[in-house]
Amino acid sequence: MAREITVEAVLNALGRVNYPGYATDIVSLGVIEAVEPLATGGGFAVVVRQATERDEVIHELAGAINGTLTRELGVRRVELRVRRLEAELGEKTGRVRLEGTRYVVAVASGKGGVGKSTVAANLALALHRLGMTVGLLDADIYGPSVPMMFGVGEERPRAAGGQNFYPVERYGVKLISMGFFLTDKTPVIWRGPMVMGAVRQFLKDTLWGTLDFLIVDLPPGTGDAQLTLAQQVALDGAVIVTTPRDVALLDATRAARMLHQLHCPVIGVVENMSYFVCPDCGERDELFGAGGGAKLALAERTRVLAQIPIHLEVREAGDAGMPIVLARPDHPASRAFMEVARRVLAAMPKEETSHVLGVPIGTVRSRLSRGRTLLRSVLARL
């Protein structure tokens, strides 16, 4: 007689299957919703939560699940049920559209320390300077830096009844960061599902009000939080930050691949710490080599949005709690950040775009529903 295979054994086996392109298993990621013995006997039904709109990823996942259960465990029949998110969320794309937010743009990088948070903060402020209403979500729960960069002292998000809270507002930008909720006693090591829970809560419970842009400072790398975001929210695009060094570029390529796989359009590459301008002689020095960002952009069929010079003042501005775009608008780095913002704005999907003073301000639909934003945008440019 064949040995009885338990649901627990099936779950254990599935815990060894990684999500395609990830180093994390599908059980930890919450992709597996249920495992049930088939009514007819002889096998199991595995209910998978759809995490991507790309069929090839689902096929690869199906193959891996099937292979593991039949070969390793000896299950005779595996029935895979993919639960599409659209049924749950009632959205064509299967992802949440943040109510009242027009565009959600992520700032990503393959590795840490390349200036992702600096780019996210300055991009948010640059878009605000262009008359946009902007929110900044610091989804980097391992190293949140938004509170420091915006000089938020003791202020914390205000409770708004129920689970909800209002973001902190600084320099006209609405901010939410894990840094607002962490204490010295919070464990630094979070497990996958906890990461997902935190990001989900950020997205769902923050009362952003009406936003033209929500900029998301993603944690570095290609792990759980990125996957969660793509599952939870319809990202309109992502900006990849890299330095011109080859090692950084390799990681950035990985980030670009992840974004493609998650169905998130790559708006372009920001090459940070690109060159150094000698303060004495004004000469331009390419410290880390030249043309790295362009190489990456070419390989990933995207483009370089701007090259940001390496400059002590960029760091000092961030450390002092007022990013360079605001502290020194005339600085070469600030001009480069403004260029990034203009290009991001231009890259956003538009249905019937109307132009107000040369800046595209949303669609006819959003114009009707967001008269106030429009008015504010126009006033800010006068």
Ligand X SMILES: Nc1ncnc2c1ncn2[C@@H]1O[C@H](COP(=O)(O)OP(=O)(O)OP(=O)(O)O)[C@@H](O)[C@H]1O
Place of tokens 């990202």: 235
Q: Which residues ranging from 131 to 190 are in contact with ligand X (CB under 6 A)?
A: 140, 143, 145
Q: How far is the CB of 99 from Mg ion (least distance, A)?
A: 27
Q: Which of 308, 344, 345, 347 binds ligand X (CB under 6 A)?
A: 308
Nearer to ligand X, 208 or 275 (CB): 275
* 272: partner contacted, choices Mg ion, ligand X, none (Cβ within 5-8 A by kind): ligand X
Residue 311 found at the interface with ligand X (CB under 6 A):
yes
- Residue whose beta carbon is closest to ligand X: 112
Beta strands in the chain (DSSP E): 32-37, 43-49, 77-83, 101-108, 134-138, 158-159, 165-166, 168-170, 173-177, 211-217, 237-242, 266-271, 276-277, 284-285, 304-307, 355-356, 359-360
At 67, list the tokens: 């292979």
Nearer to ligand X, 140 or 300 (CB): 140
Question: How many CB atoms neighbour CB 334 within 10 A?
Answer: 24
Query: Of 239, 229, 302, nearest to 270 (Cα)?
Result: 239
Residue 20 found at the interface with ligand X (CB under 6 A):
no
Q: How far is CA 214 from the centre of its chain?
A: 10
Q: Are 140 and 111 in contact (CB under 8 A)?
A: no
Q: How far is the CB of 12 from ligand X (least distance, A)?
A: 34
Amino acid residing at 259: L
Q: How far is the CB of 119 from ligand X (least distance, A)?
A: 7
* 370: partner contacted, choices Mg ion, ligand X, none (Cβ within 5-8 A by kind): none
Binding footprint of ligand X, residue count (CB under 6 A)? 21
Q: Are 117 and 162 in contact (CB under 8 A)?
A: no
Residue 109 found at the interface with ligand X (CB under 6 A):
yes
* 26: partner contacted, choices ligand X, Mg ion, none (Cβ within 5-8 A by kind): none
Q: How far is the CB of 244 from ligand X (least distance, A)?
A: 12
Q: How far is the CB of 151 from ligand X (least distance, A)?
A: 14
Nearer to Mg ion, 140 or 236 (CB): 140
Residue 115 found at the interface with ligand X (CB under 6 A):
yes
Binding mask 182-221 for ligand X (x = CB under 6 A): --------------------------------------x-
- Output phi, psi for 291, to 5 deg: 80, 10
∠ at Cα 229 (337, 217), nearest 5°?
25
Q: How far is the CB of 274 from ligand X (least distance, A)?
A: 8
User: Could you give the CA distance from residue 276 to residue 285 in angstroms, rounded to a whole number?
Assistant: 5
* 314: partner contacted, choices Mg ion, ligand X, none (Cβ within 5-8 A by kind): ligand X
Q: How far is the CB of 261 from ligand X (least distance, A)?
A: 22
At 75, list the tokens: 């299950």
Q: How far is the CB of 135 from Mg ion (least distance, A)?
A: 17
Q: Which of 105, 114, 127, 203 binds ligand X (CB under 6 A)?
A: 114
Q: How far is the CB of 131 from ligand X (least distance, A)?
A: 25
Q: Which of 84, 158, 191, 315 binds ligand X (CB under 6 A)?
A: 315
**DSSP tag of 274:** -
Q: Which of 272, 302, 307, 366 binds ligand X (CB under 6 A)?
A: 272
The interface region with ligand X, picked from 88-96, 115-123, 172-180, 249-257 by CB under 6 A, is 115-123
Burial (CB count <10 Å: 0-12, 13-18, 19+), residue 260: middle
User: Could you give the CA distance from residue 180 to residue 274 in angstroms, rounded to a whole number?
Assistant: 32
Q: In 3-state terms, what secondary structure has residue 135?
A: strand
Helix axes 224-232, 192-205, angle to 10 degrees: 40
User: Could you give the CA distance from residue 237 to residue 348 in angstroms, rounded to a whole number?
Assistant: 8
Q: Which residues bind ligand X (CB under 6 A)?
A: 109, 112-118, 140, 143, 145, 220, 272-273, 308, 310-311, 314-315, 318, 333
